[in-house]
Structure 1
Amino acid sequence: MSEPVIPGRGGGVITLRVADALWVGLTAGGAVPTVSAALTCSPADARVGYVLLGGRVVTAVQAGRGQWGVAEAEVRRAAAELNAVEMDVRDLVRIGPFRGMPKRESMERMPLRWRERITWELQVPRDPERVPHSEGGRLHHLAGVDWRRILVEQTRAGAGRTWWLPRSVVRLLDAAEHAEAQWLQAARPRHENAAVTEQPSRHGQTQAAGARQTTGPDDPTAPLRPYNGELKGHLYSVLSRKPGISRTVAGWACAVCRTAPAAVLDHCHEHGYVRAPVCQSCNTQERPDHLYRNDIRVADRYMRLFHTHAADWLQHWHRCPGCRARTTLPLPHLAAWTASIACRSLRPTHRGSRGRTPCGVLRASWTGSHRAPGSCLLTVGVDFCPSGEHRVLARVPYREAAERFGVWLAETAPAVAATAGPDRLDGLPARVRPVIADTSSEGLGLF
């Protein structure tokens, strides 16, 4: 059995096996499930200088006799942060499958890239000889989180299977991925300097001459830049092709939640303008569930956007100059708002054990286009009615829906309504023109 503290190391450095037991003991009462070998089984590898526990990078140190260890205080701090995470198992975010298949070689090495790892685990047949095992059998974890226990798989007719995780866990893993990227970026100059004196060993590993191996930086995370409208008025089709755009986006904090690192550029699909850089969780949360091209279901997690922090979300949608000038929303969002707000009183209820509950799941569909407001019609209905009925609640012309939204916007978010233009639904241009012209062939100066 390993010693609790590594001989010759101060500062409360404990072995990886002891840290494993400490981690699972400290997180046993948390909402997010964890594994019992978070520091010793794949994808954790202390030999690269760190391990991921929750959303935190924990630096690893090397002592004599080939032992690796971590600071006990860092493990306790990571466990406390994880225990503070609240998880709503009904608030789910789709995490795959997406296009493209990661290679096995890339999954056996760092960095985390947790979405690719899950895709690889669930879609690629595994070689039993190459799969790490623990005393309890095969382990599946990401940053110490046992994602297998909370993964939800859904299958829809004609759409195949999809994978979902609770939103709080998605944000946690996104934070871990960002923290790891910052750690590696800060550690690169130190490793490059150390490589000058490194000599290969018999097993292909490297050791620094005359000293123990150095570890990563003391501060694994760098502060994220707040988004202040730097991309206002730019077309997504132009900006998305700029070199280095992904790296630039990752340096911003999400413009909606303002806490998680941004991962994508959210943009208006109707007008083509960039709204803002957002994290994967907020990017998934801001769109209703499309069933078909002109048909959506208005899930509870999306309906909350019109009630919880409504002013922030309305401001985000109106970052699109086209939506702001027309004092409206893109057609799918306007249809969802019409179903959940304008037609709220029309939704039937049923008697249940805890009183009357709303009927089924709201569905919104439309015919026509926002470019021809006079002929566009929104239809609000209900799916999965407990009594077996599938009824149409209302048919609302696009003009009427836009007018109702304008009135509601002025009452709900007067600051957002004050910056919007007149409600011009006619005379829309056939092609979108950028508010800010890109006249440089070398790319924007921002990048």
Structure 2
Amino acid sequence: MPERVIPGRSGGLIPWGAADALWAGLTTGSAVPTASAVFTCSPADAGVGYVLLGGRVVATVKASGGQWSVAETEVRRAAAELNAVEMDCLDLVRIGPFRGAPKKECNETMLLHWRQRVTRELQRLGESERAVRREGGRASHLAGIDWRRILVEQTRDGTARTWWLPRAVVRLLDAAEHAETQWLQAARTRHGNRAVTEPPLQARAADGRQTTSSDCGAASLRPYNGELQGQLYSALSRKPDTSRKVAGWTCAVCRTAPAAVLDHCHEHGYVRAPVCHSCNTRERPDHLYSNDIRVASHYTHLFDTHTADWLRHWHRCPGCRARTTLPLPHLAAWTAHVACRSLRPTHRDPRGSRARKPCGVLRVSWTGSQNAPGSCLLTVAVDFCPSGTHRVLTQIAYREAAQRFGTWLAETAPAVAAAAGPDRLDGLPARFRPVVADTSGEGLALF
């Protein structure tokens, strides 16, 4: 039987059982589903000095009697922050598996590395009975979120499985991992070589017991102002302090979430900017093959609703900016989504509505390479047409697509267009260094 929260003790300490009941009760109506035992179920280990609830680090403290407790006010603050999150269940982000993803087991009592952990758990499904049930039959959660209830699994070609979560949840878990990293760094700095399981900040509560503050002076994030402009990703990624610098910036695209990775141009090799995992995933083309992408719904965000932000970000690459274009997969997606919008057939809604729905799913492929634009050809097609009558919509030469994009750019984002072109750039590299010489060869995929 869970312990009752004592009325009027909102500023005091409560045991874990009461904290579990309080969290579950406060987040009942949250758009993001939460777990019911966040202090006592995996991966929570409140004995290390903290528990993640949403994007907040909630510190724990061992009272004089040996019982671990937590400040009730911190649980309430974390619940209020989570309840304020709005979630669109259709705006999904792929979380795995990815090629080259690390397979090494991580210490679940320390950093979550939540994407690898989720992928690892899901890959166990079907292997044994333990994959269906966690140790002791307890439910698994991440930062107090019951991620299994909102996970979407997609299967391609009947074999390859991918897993997706709503973007709002991905941002929340990214923020949780960032907050955890900063908490641990602050604890180590404050206590030197002492174990981080000790409460980092101690203060006496009114009843004489010790309490712990979760505000460990985490380093404040700073906006990105082009500090890495013109640098090659291949050189910068080898520097040992790059990850630490990236974690200190705010995402250069959404400007709200903490940065986690360095986004770079795969054609020219230049760093664009530090971005969060969510923006990095949103920008990634949905490749079917090395020279074939599906033009999914997330391109509406890239080319319609937040166009100027993304165009400015892509043109942080000196190569793309000088040529007033985009990397080949992005230019191909733009051509299908924008330039060929009027060519896409529509069908009457089978539910009887007067509105007409776009036909099937857009796909664009190309032959040749952007480094030989005279022979590069883009082919825009429709897959999964209800009537089965539409296939290839049009074929557009790379040079024509790039010219159309330049015209559209000047109309859509004049400030970005004004800074583009080889005659309008200061500090332009004397020689571009493309990473990919030809996408038509074996093993030369852009991504």
Aligned partner of 2:262 in structure 1 is 265
Q: 1:375 is paired with a residue of what secondary structure?
A: coil
Aligned partner of 1:43 in structure 2 is 43
Q: 1:65 is paired with a residue of what secondary structure?
A: coil
Once the two structures are superposed, the pairs formed by residues 288-367 of structure 1 within 5 Å of their partners are 288-352=285-349, 353=351, 354=353, 355-367=355-367
Once the two structures are superposed, the pairs formed by residues 103-122 of structure 1 within 5 Å of their partners are 103=105, 106-122=106-122
Aligned partner of 2:30 in structure 1 is 30
Compared CA separation, residues 43 and 127, structure 1 to 2 (3 A):
farther
Gaps of 5+ in 2: 203-207, 435-447
2:13, 2:211 within 8 Å by CA — same for their partners in 1? no
Aligned partner of 1:232 in structure 2 is 229
Matched letter for residue 289 of structure 1: D
Matched, 1:388 2:388: yes
Q: Distance in 2 between matches of 1:74 and 1:62?
A: 16
Compared CA separation, residues 108 and 213, structure 1 to 2 (3 A):
farther
1:244 paired residue among 195, 220, 241: 241
Q: 2:246 is paired with a residue of what secondary structure?
A: helix
Q: Distance in 1 between matches of 2:3 and 2:30?
A: 27
TM-superposed deviation, 1:303: 2.8
Gaps of 5+ in 1: 199-207, 435-447
Moved more, 335-344 or 89-98: 89-98
Aligned partner of 1:101 in structure 2 is 103
Matched, 1:276 2:290: no
Q: Distance in 2 between matches of 1:416 and 1:271?
A: 19
Q: Distance in 1 between matches of 2:306 and 2:341?
A: 19
User: How high is the sequence identity, in percent, across the aligned residues?
Assistant: 75
Compared CA separation, residues 62 and 365, structure 1 to 2 (3 A):
same
Q: Distance in 1 between matches of 2:94 and 2:258?
A: 18
The one-character-per-residue Cα deviations of 1:161-217 (angstroms, maximum 9, x if unpaired) are 11111111111000000001111111113443766xx9xxxxxxxxx9xx9777465
Superposition RMSD on alpha carbons, in Å? 2.9
1:186, 1:217 within 8 Å by CA — same for their partners in 2? no
The one-character-per-residue Cα deviations of 1:368-399 (angstroms, maximum 9, x if unpaired) are 11111111111111111111234111111111
Q: Distance in 2 between matches of 1:147 and 1:2?
A: 23
Compared CA separation, residues 71 and 139, structure 1 to 2 (3 A):
same
Compared CA separation, residues 170 and 3, structure 1 to 2 (3 A):
closer
1:331, 1:370 within 8 Å by CA — same for their partners in 2? yes
Aligned residues: 412
Compared CA separation, residues 132 and 274, structure 1 to 2 (3 A):
same
TM-superposed deviation, 1:246: 1.4
Matched letter for residue 273 of structure 1: Y
Q: Distance in 2 between matches of 1:400 and 1:249?
A: 37
Once the two structures are superposed, the pairs formed by residues 48-67 of structure 1 within 5 Å of their partners are 48-67=48-67
Q: Distance in 2 between matches of 1:107 and 1:193?
A: 19
Aligned partner of 1:253 in structure 2 is 250
